[in-house]
């Protein structure tokens, strides 16, 4: 919640989906509601899909792109533009999804306070969904896990094709470093070769230096 609602979801490292174990699924959604999140109905979900990813906006044959007008806007504004209403103090709009992929457009990167919610019945299925999220719209960037089991966190880190694995911390603030972990504080994040960038760390002045070596 802290991460995805910060700056209305504009940070590229913010969560695009939350994957919940079915054992805590209902309790987690209830907790989200106490923090002023709105769980979209099926009708509201369809309206959000139409507004956030308008058909043809990216051009013929191009992958759908998020409606730029929605980037960084409040949940109430987004809901109004999509054709429904939520309270002004709404922190996030949650949208349940059955899977990750093109037929669930709200599992794409959104850069606004709309968060897909996926259910998993096992650790393996949860890993599969997370890996699908990374491959779909986040290769190389960041992945997050919340667990009290260090072995599970390590297994997750080995599976995800991202250069940052955030453990038990909000993704936005965790990825930029210096608050919740030992990552280098930076607002420019490399994604390595997985993400087609030349660096795989948080970019700093060190990347601007020419280092001369005599050997």
SS3 20: strand
Q: Which residue has the tokens 């997750």?
A: 156
Residue 151 C-beta-side C-alpha neighbours within 13 Å: 1
User: Distance between CA 185 and CA 173 in Å, rounded?
Assistant: 10
**Burial tier of 180 (Cβ tally within 10 Å: 0-12, 13-18, 19+):** middle
Active-site residues: which are they? 12
Task: At 133, give phi and psi (nearest 5°).
Answer: -60, -45
**Which residues lie below 8 Å from residue 184, measured CB to CB, with a gap of 6+?**
177, 178, 201, 202, 204
- DSSP designation for 132: H
């Amino acid at each position: 919640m802290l991460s995805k609602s910060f700056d209305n979801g504009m940070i590229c490292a913010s969560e695009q989906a939350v994957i919940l174990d079915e054992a805590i699924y209902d309790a987690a959604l209830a907790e989200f509601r106490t923090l002023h999140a709105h769980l979209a109905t099926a009708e509201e979900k369809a309206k959000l899909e139409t507004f956030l990813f308008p058909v043809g906006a990216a051009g013929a044959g191009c992958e759908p792109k998020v409606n730029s007008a929605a980037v960084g806007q409040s949940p109430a504004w987004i809901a109004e533009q999509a054709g429904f209403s939520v309270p002004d103090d709404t922190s996030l709009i949650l949208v349940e999804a059955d899977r990750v992929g093109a037929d669930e457009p709200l599992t794409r990167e959104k850069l606004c306070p709309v968060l897909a919610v996926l259910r998993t019945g096992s650790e393996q299925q949860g890993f599969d969904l997370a890996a699908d999220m990374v491959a779909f719209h986040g290769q190389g960037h960041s992945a997050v896990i919340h667990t009290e089991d260090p072995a599970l966190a390590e297994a997750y880190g080995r599976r995800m094709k991202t250069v940052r694995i955030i453990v038990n911390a909000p993704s936005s603030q965790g990825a930029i470093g210096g608050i919740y972990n030992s990552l280098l504080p930076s607002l420019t994040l490399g994604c390595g070769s997985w993400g087609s960038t030349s660096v795989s760390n948080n970019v700093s002045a060190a990347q601007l230096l020419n280092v001369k070596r005599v050997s």
